[in-house]
Amino acid sequence: MSGQILGDRYEVERQLGKQTGRWTLLARDLQTQEQVVIKLLFLDEQLEWDDLKLFEREVEILKALSHPSIPRYLGYFEHQLPNDKALALIQTYVEGKSLEQCMQQGRLFTEAETKQLAKALLNILVYLHSRQPPIIHRDIKPSNILLANRQAYLVDFGSVKALKNTNETSAFTVVGTYGYMPPEQFSGRAVPASDLYSLGATLIALLTGTHPSSLPRRGVKIDFGSAATVSPEFAEWLERMTEPNLEQRTKSAQEALQILEQGRQTPNPANPVVKPANSKISLTKDSRNLEILIPSLLGQTQLQIDPQQISMTTKRLGFQTGRPQVSPRHRINKLEYRRAIAPGDAEPQLTIWAGSEKYELSHLLLTVPELDWLAYELSTWLKLPLN
């Protein structure tokens, strides 16, 4: 098709990709003289209804996106063929090398390089998942990530899905790539955390030089430990990203990014920290309320969190000392745990932040094992990472 004019404006230069019923072309816009990408879908007897649905969805979603690391929508038209016709999507061209091409050339990425890519891609996912409705890519893999001008780009939105309901569980078209798809996607379900699994699997591929489908498994988990040399913290982060159990996987791109940047993990419910055997602390909780009672020599400290507020009161000899500390529940935004590791470190302290208000649990009342346990319980219940 080289030299052919499409839409009375775009001169085809070469083919970039070809699938059954779909072509991807590099062309030049004769009005602007800029290179563009044209995605053609052929409307013939071999066309599957799902292919048309996905193509139309890609057009509509790209129209609504505006991000420097996502190809920009430029136009859409119908192209008449001798016997049939085709639909054409025009988008900006990113001249770069895909991560798949890097792998084929034998390149292995270091932990530092992989973390840098992870942060860039997580920022893109934060943008997509925070849209209303949330947008799920559903096909993150090395061939759909380009490196150009020292920047990472997420491309090919042909499998994209707008999640109209965050609790949506109904089945829809199964899309994705084996090895990079989380288990729930095999049954036609995808949620924002599904993209996190695919991203984690992609990062593992970069570190090992091997596609996840060819790596050994530990049960249903990707076993990359023997194929990649990374720090224990980063290995744990990757394991949480690629956790097959959706309930135990990292919940959001924002959480994944925060943990990666700050180096602290949200405790894994699969590996709970248990209450020390000799502790006299009382902790009661349900899905809406949590109460911690910490006894002292002459009284107790009470921390309560309910749907409306967080409060802390201290009693001595049965009498309340000072005014209770109270803040609206919705202002709780950070959980900070400073744990002494070596001699000379600051004393251990667990702090709940509600805006600028601090609710502190310190070593003066608690042992380090007790603080470890409470940090786990609060982080799990509040769904906040430890900073």
> What positions carry a catalytic annotation?
139
Cα(310)–Cα(306) distance, integer angstroms = 7
- Amino acid identity of residue 154, one-letter, is L
Q: 61 Cβ partners below 8 Å, 6+ apart?
A: 135, 157, 160, 162
Q: How far apart are the first and last CA of the chain?
A: 56
* Secondary structure (3-state) at 7: coil
Cα(130)–Cα(149) distance, integer angstroms = 26
Give the residue among 331, 131, 140 at the shortest CA–CA distance from 242: 140
Give the residue among 337, 301, 344, 295 at the shortest CA–CA distance from 320: 301
Q: Interhelix angle for 192-208 vs 111-129, to 10°?
A: 160
Cα(383)–Cα(226) distance, integer angstroms = 31
Cα(326)–Cα(357) distance, integer angstroms = 9
Q: The dihedral of CA 46, 48, 54, 60: what is its sign?
A: positive
Q: 377 Cβ partners below 8 Å, 6+ apart?
A: 273, 283, 285
CA distances from 333 to 20, 33, 130, 162 (A): 49, 49, 18, 28
Which residue, chain included where needed, has tokens 């509600």? 354
* Count of residues making up the chain: 387
**What are the backbone angles phi and psi of residue 92, rounded to the nearest 5°?**
-65, 150
Cα(187)–Cα(352) distance, integer angstroms = 39
Instruction: Please say whether the beta carbons of 69 and 49 come within 8 A.
Output: no
